[in-house]
Amino acid sequence: MDRSKLYRRFRTLLIANRGEIACRVIRTARAMGLRTVAVYSEADRDAMHVALADEAVLLGPARARDSYLNVERLIEAAKKTGAEAVHPGYGFLSENAEFAQACYDAGLVFVGPTAAMMTAMGSKSGSKGLMEKAGVPLVPGYHGEAQDDATLSKAADKIGFPILVKASAGGGGRGMRIVRSAAELGPAIVSAKREAKAAFGDDRMLIEKYVDNPRHIEVQIVGDSHGNLLSLFERECTLQRRHQKVIEEAPSPTLNAAQRETVCAAARKAAGAVNYVGAGTIEFVSDGKDVFFIEMNTRLQVEHPVTELITGIDLVEWQLRVAFGEALPLKQDEIKLNGHAVEARVYAENPTKNFMPSVGRISTWRLPAETGGLRIDAGYREGDTVSPYYDAMLAKMIAWAPTRDVAIDRLNRGLEDSDVRGIVTNIPFLSALITHPKVRANAIDTGFIERELSALTSAAAAPGELELCAAVAAIVADERQADASSPWHTFGWQPVGRRQRNFAFRVGHGPEQKIALNYGSGPSTLVIGERELAFAIVPKDGGFDLTLDGIKSPVAAVIDGHELYLRTRNGRFDLHWVDPFGGETEEQTGADKIAAPLPGTVVAVLAEEGAKLEKGAPILTLEVMKMEQTLRAPYAGVLKSIKCRVGDIVQEGIELAVVEPSEE
C-alpha cells in the first residue's frame, strides 16, 4: 500500500457514526482546527451530532443498513463535502475491513488500522491463530473456518460445557451466548448467527471454554506508522450484563503492579504480531490466577475515557495524529498512571422490566456540571428523540479521583444529581450497582449483575412526608410560575379567613395518600394526618428548596399534567396527582396480550398456529434497538393465530399473536 495514501495531513474529517461517539470525535477534531462532517439517517435529522458538525449529509432511511452501514453512500458523502479522512467511531463499520479498504481505494485516510490489520486482528478466529503462534496464552476453543452444525457441535463436545458461542466479527455482546448443555447448543447457534448477521453482516461463529466467575481485563494500545507501539495501562470491565459492559474502571483494582506489567507486555506482544497502527484494545479474561487472550478490538472502545483520565492523554487526538503520519509524542516510560477513573453507561432502558429499551422524546435532560473530576460524554439533549433503530446508549458519565473509593463516590453523586424524563433510563440501577458493598470491595465477576439483579432493581421506597409535601409545593410553584400576575402568586393573599385545598397522590395503582394545604390570612401550612407543617419554597433551576419546620431540602421536580417526578434526599419518586374533580381514566392492558413492547422487526417465528403451548413457551422474536426480545405465551393454551411474518416492521402495541387459554 502507498504509505502517502495511508497517512497524511488532512483538514476535513467525516465521522461515519452517530450519537455520543460522533459528538466526542467532533469536539476533539474541531479543537485541533479540523473541519468536521457528520452523516445522518432520516431518524437523526435533528440529532446532536448533526448540530455540532460544520456540515452534515443525509445518508438515507432510518434503518442502519440503509444509512450508517451503507459504504457507498458514506464514500459519496465524503466526496461531496471534500472530506479527506474518515473516522469510524465504534460499532457500525468501525471494524469492517471492506470499509477501511473502500476508504483507501477512494483516496481517503481511514482513521484506524489498515484493512489487512483489521482482518488479521478484528476476526476473533484469525487473531487467536496469530496469538497462538506468538505464544500469547489463549482460552481453549475452536476458531476454525468450518461453520457447519456438525463441526461446531463436535468442537463444543471436545471443549466441554459450559462453552461460549460468539460472533467472530464485532463485539459489544452481540451474537454471543453461554451454552451449558448440548441440548442448548443448536438454538443458541441459530440465534447468535442471526444477531451477528444483523449487527455486523457476518455470521461466522467461534466456540471457546466458558470461564466460570471470570474477570474481564483489557489493555489500551496505540501504535504509529514509525514502529512505535505503546500500552496505556489496563481497564477492568467485569461488571457486565448479557456480555455488555455496564461499569468500567481504570486501572484494574484486581491487578498488582507486577501483574499489570505482565498483562500490558502481553498486549504489546499481541498487537506487535501485526505491526499494529492506530488505537486498539487487547482483551483478556482472568480466572483469578491466569490471564487468557480472548480478542482484539481494532477500534476505539466505548470506555476509552477512563484511560484518558488516568493518563491525561486524548486518545482521539492521538488517533488523528497517527493518521496524519506523526510519531507518537511519548515513550512507554513517559506514560504515567494518575489516580482512578470509573465510567457508567447511561442507557434508555427499563431495568425493572428486563431492561426493555425505551423510546420517545426526552422531555427533561438535566445532568450535573462537568466539575470536580466529573466528565460527561453525551449524544442527546433535551427535546431529542430516542428511536428504536439504534443502540440505546444516551451518554457516559465518568468520574476521576485520586483513589477508587472517592471516584465511586463522585460518580454516584453525579448519577444521583441527574434527571432524565420522557423516557426511562437505567440511572437508578447504575447508582445502586456502584454503591453495592461487593462492588466497592471488588468482590465481583462477570455474573455479578445477574445474581444480584433483584436487589439492584428492587422497588423504590414509598413516598414519605417529605415527598408528599414536595409534591404539593411543586404543584403550587408551577401554578405560581404559570400565572405570575395573579394575586395567588403570593401564598398569604386571601381577602377573608382561611381556606383549605386538598390533594391526593398515589404511586402506580397503590392507595391514595392525602395532604392538605391551608392558606389565607397568616402563613400557609401543610397538613398530613394530625401533623401541621410550616413550609417555604425558594425556586431554582430544575426545582426548588423546600423548608419544612426549619429544615431546608433541595427538590428536583418535573410536572407533566397529573404525573409528578420528584427527587429528594430519599431518592426518586413518580407520583400520580389524583384528579380532584374525578374523570380518572386508565388504559387496562391485559398481561395476556402478546404485543410489540416497542417498534421492532420480527426476526423469527418460533411456534406454529394450532400448537399447544406451555406457559412461557417462545412464540416469536423481535429485534429492538439491536437486541433480540422473545415474546412468550402468558399462559398454557393453543396458539390460535400469528398476525405477523418474519421481516415485518411492527409498531409498539400492535398485537402479534393470540393464545387461547386452556380450560384448566
| CA Rg value for the chain | 27
| H helix runs in 500-588, sequence order | none
> Three cell numbers at 431?
447508582
Distance, CA of 239 to CA of 228 (rounded, Å): 32
Rounded Cα distance between 225 and 325, Å, is 6
- CA separation for the pair 567, 561 (Å, rounded): 18
Quick one: cell of 416?
444521583
* DSSP-H helix ranges across 388-540: 404-416, 427-434, 437-440, 448-451, 453-456, 465-482
Q: Note whether 69 and 93 are within 8 A (CB).
A: yes
Q: What are phi and psi of 229, to 5 degrees?
A: -140, 120
For residue 44, the SS3 value is helix
CB 217 within 8 A of CB 203: no
3-state SS, 158-175, equals HHCCCEEEEECCCCCCCC
The residue with cell 428523540 is: 385
Q: Using CA atoms, how far apart are residues 16 and 13, in angstroms rounded to an integer? A: 9
Question: Which position among 177, 204, 241, 299 bears the catalytic label?
Answer: 299
CA distance 246 to 248: 7
Task: Sheet containing 618-624: give its strands across.
Answer: 627-632, 618-624, 600-605, 649-650
Cell numbers at 654, concatenated: 400492535
Active site residue 8: no
- Which residues are catalytic, by number? 299
